Amino acid sequence: RYLVPVIGVTNTAGRVFFGWLADRGYVSALAINNFSLLACGILTLAAPLLPTFSLQMTYAALFGFIISAYVCLTSIVLSDLLGLEKLTNSFGLLVVARGIASLAGSPFAGKFFKL
């Protein structure tokens, strides 16, 4: 019942935190982004093993906080890797690739699950 709002609140806090962390330069935005994706992948693999509501709330809070780095640092990572002059084109191509992956991901997972 409260899992999605917890993700939203912690995601908002995470965007502020990871944006601040990347801005300070202690850790590169790419490293933060890669950590975020790896950590959320591991958390999501463990999610079916969480039997109680309190563990699911903990998962939701951690997932919301950590995945926010992936969302808020995308344009910074693209501009660091490809340059500011290619940011608009690279961001557009990234959005197209994400859309195709979102569209094809569910049917692929369904086929894979039925094997």
H, E, C per residue of 6-38: HHHHHHHHHHHHHHHHHHHCCCCHHHHHHHHHH
The answer, as to whether pTM is greater than 0.85, is no
Radius of gyration of the chain, Cα coordinates, nearest whole angstrom:
16
* Residues 78, 100: Cα–Cα separation, whole Å: 19
The tens digit of pLDDT for each residue in 76-109 reads 999 999 999 999 999 999 999 999 999 998 888 8
pLDDT at residue 115 above 80?
Answer: no
